[in-house]
Amino acid sequence: MEIHRAGSRPSGKGPEDWFTGTVRIDPVIQTDAPARVASATVTFEPGARTAWHTHPLGQTLIVTAGCGRVQREGGPIEEIRPGDVVWFQPGEKHWHGAGKPVFGTFA
């Protein structure tokens, strides 16, 4: 068993090759193989977003704060708000990020 106390894991700046604008990543769950579980609280400053990307196993976003935007390749930009849950299918090309206020997700 491992217990990670609140605030015990370091925050990190989102890598420039993954994001545009200012993004902070706070790890929540990190596991070793063979487990495939990982999650983080991700905070996007106004206008920040991810690059277009895919996930081989899909991705779930749970909106925790602010107003966000998501788009899948070929689709319209959709606005998302706290409490919304977004599921991207495995291999589905997409991006997500902030509108004007700060935007937070649990991913």
User: Tell me, what CATH number does 45's domain have?
Assistant: 2.60.120.10
Q: Assign 18 a pLDDT band (cuts: 50, 70, 90).
A: very high
> Is 3 part of any domain?
no
> Is 40 part of any domain?
yes
Number of structural domains, the chain?
Answer: 1
Nearest alpha-carbon partner for 64 in 78, 51, 88, 80: 80
Enclosing H/E stretch for 86: strand 85-88
> Is 7 part of any domain?
no
Amino acid code (one letter) for 20? T
pLDDT tens-digit readout, 67-92: 999 999 999 999 999 999 999 999 99
Tally of CB atoms within 10 A around 4: 11
Q: Assign 64 a pLDDT band (cuts: 50, 70, 90).
A: very high
Rounded to two decimals, the pTM is 0.87
> Is 1 part of any domain?
no
